[in-house]
Amino acid sequence: MWLRLAGALIVTLAAIGALEFFGVSRLVGGRSPNEVQEAANGRTRELFWLLIFVVVMATSLLAAARRWAGQLKRAMARRT
């Protein structure tokens, strides 16, 4: 389970880094390149990527919890 979570974290961070490298946040944000350099816009861009990261990690944790619950149910069924 932890290996899958670590893998999801690495893939998520790599995807965010690649999208940032190609300038997707500028396209999504709808701002001119000059405005992106300002500190206030930098904060909103960071918040945008943080929210994406949180959603992906929450999905990974939910999937891991569901798998763990299924394994626990199977283990309990074998005992009875």
Tell me the C-alpha distance between 76 and 74, whole Å: 5
Split into its structural domains, the chain has a count of 1
pLDDT tens digit string along 4-49?
778 878 888 888 788 777 776 665 566 566 665 665 656 777 888 8
Residues 6+ apart with CB under 8 A from 15: none
Predicted confidence at residue 23, as pLDDT, reads 72
pTM of the model: 0.47
> Is there a contact between 52 and 32 (Cβ–Cβ < 8 Å)?
no
Give the domain range for residue 26.
Answer: 2-79
